[in-house]
Amino acid sequence: MSGRFHDEPKELIDGFAHDIYRISKKFPKEEMYGITSQIRRASLSVMLNYVEGYARCRSKVYLNFLEMSYGSLQECKYIIDFVLRKNC
């Protein structure tokens, strides 16, 4: 796997995680141990699974970690939709 290919998605995912942290600071304080911590963990999980899978250097293992990363991304998507409907 080429390093440049790896750098581009890594930068996007890193930006996503930082955006989630920035945005979630505006969530209500009573959500600190609920939605806020959950979306922060899930956003970091997107990056951590991507990086760990890439580090394994085996394509089938990498794909498995990408699936886990995608699952965490979908979790973030649902939480964002939930927050927007709830008007947090």
pLDDT digit string, tens, across residues 9-55: 899 999 999 999 999 999 988 888 899 999 999 999 999 999 999 99
Spatial neighbors of 62 by CB under 8 A, at least 6 apart, are 1, 53, 54, 56
DSSP-derived secondary structure letter, 31: G
CATH number of the domain that 46 lies in? Answer: 1.20.1440.60
| Average pLDDT of every residue of the chain | 91
Q: 50 CB contacts (<8 Å, ≥6 apart)?
A: 9, 10, 13, 65, 66, 69
Look at residue 4 and tell me whether its pLDDT is greater than 80. no
Overall number of domains in the chain: 1
The pLDDT assigned to 3 comes to 62
Domain span at residue 15 reads 3-86
Q: What share of the chain has pLDDT > 90, as a percent?
A: 70
